[in-house]
Amino acid sequence: MLIFVLGGLSAYSFFNIGRISNLQGSDKSKSIGEAWEDEIGADSSWIVSLSCLLTPLGAALTYSIILGDMLSSLAQSAGLTGILARRQTSILGITAAVLYPLCNLSSLAALAPVSMIGVIGMVFTSLFMVFRAIPGGAYCAATGGSFLSTLAPALQPSFGVIGNNAYSASILILVSMAATAYLAHFSAQDFYDGLKEKTVKKFGVLTSLGFGIAALMNVIIMSAGFLTFGGNCKGMVLNNYSAKDIGATISRMIVTISLIGSYPIFMGAVKSSFYELFMKGKKVSERMNKIVTTTLLGALTSAALVLKDAGLMVSLSGAALGSAIIYIFPSLIYLKLTKRLIAEGKMKNTVSVKAERVFNKFLAVLGVALGILGTGVTLGVV
């Protein structure tokens, strides 16, 4: 229920960002930072731009960590050992051979087939995990599952151990992870502009379908993972499955392809926010673009070589920055924009407009609360 509710709130704010430019009367959609500058002021717009820089940067770091895990598991499944099966080797190899060239592409249109493979692959992964969650399966301790002997103790199913319940503060970690799972808001204007014969209604349909499917898949994967491994579920749940499990190996391959296809999108968002923040109004040369790409990718790769907990990165990024981008910034822009339009007589202050303004005030307050509490719980302060 929580995942669906948060998905609905995230979908609304994503839709809100896309239609803000339409309400402003602009032909081309604007980034959150540009919309903030127009409605609230240029003096504070750097806060939004910095958040939109750090958030996809955190997501890209998470992807690098997960790619290291996926590729090292695939290497072990292929029978490789030693340095060739280490996650550090996998991260360095995939970054140099694949990610760097893709992040330097001038157009991401070529990645469309990869994205479709990723979508199909996640459906396969969901079905595979549901199959493995069936009682009496290959990971069932009660029946001596065939893959249990290939797992380390920390990866084996653990049930019946009393821990934090659904009403404890730890639930905020899930809320923070959900913020990251639904976070595509820094590119909402690109999705809107990419529609053929774009309209607010068509964008609303796109948003509803996209976030609805994402919420459903999140619930299926979370439920199947927990029903299989219980309290020993890892932040990246595919790490729980045996390297000898063919279905898990296929899932890892597909997830790897999906992550590779998505990585340049996050890097594109990082670079756009970087240029908006530090090179506003200046033309970016191809040479400068490559320097920025090399520097950012090098920093991310270095961090991924040291950091190992993808779950921590997902929850921390979602709590600290995701809450601001999803709940706070779009709501404040909408409130300021509608207040101006009503004062100028360009928008009628109808009952629905009043209700939506109240709802946006609620979202802004919710974002502040979730950001503070979620960060505190993730870091163990609360």
Tell me the pLDDT tens digit for each residue of 5-29: 999 999 999 999 888 877 877 767 7
Q: Give the per-residue pLDDT at 34.
A: 82
Confidence of residue 167 (pLDDT cuts 50, 70, 90): low
Confidence of residue 132 (pLDDT cuts 50, 70, 90): very high
φ/ψ of 164, rounded to 5, equals -70, 135
How far apart are the C-alpha atoms of 12 and 143, rounded to whole Å? 46
Confidence of residue 224 (pLDDT cuts 50, 70, 90): very high
CA 258 from centre of chain? 13
Percent of the chain with pLDDT over 70: 90
Q: Give the per-residue pLDDT at 228.
A: 93
Listed range (105-114, 176-185, 276-285, 300-309) with the worst mean pLDDT: 105-114
Q: Please list, in sequence order, all residues whose beta carbon lies within 8 angstroms of the beta carbon of residue 29, skipping any fewer than 6 positions away.
A: 18, 21, 22, 188, 189, 190, 192, 193
Cβ neighbours, 10 Å, residue 276:
21
* Residues forming a β-bridge with 158: 230
Report for 126-130, 229-233, 324-328: range of highest mean pLDDT: 126-130
Question: By the 8 A CB rule, do 159 and 142 touch?
Answer: no
Q: Please list, in sequence order, all residues whose beta carbon lies within 8 angstroms of the beta carbon of residue 20, skipping any fewer than 6 positions away.
A: 30, 35, 330, 333, 334, 337
Q: Give the per-residue pLDDT at 379.
A: 65
The mean predicted confidence, pLDDT, of the chain is: 84
Does residue 166 carry a pLDDT above 80? no
Task: Tell me the average pLDDT across 216-224.
Answer: 92
CB-count burial class (<10 Å; 0-12, 13-18, 19+) for 100: middle
How far apart are the C-alpha atoms of 216 and 204, rounded to whole Å? 18
Confidence of residue 205 (pLDDT cuts 50, 70, 90): very high
Does residue 210 carry a pLDDT above 60? yes
Radius of gyration from C-alpha coordinates of the chain: 22
Q: What is the pLDDT of residues 65-78, one digit of tens each?
A: 888 888 888 888 88
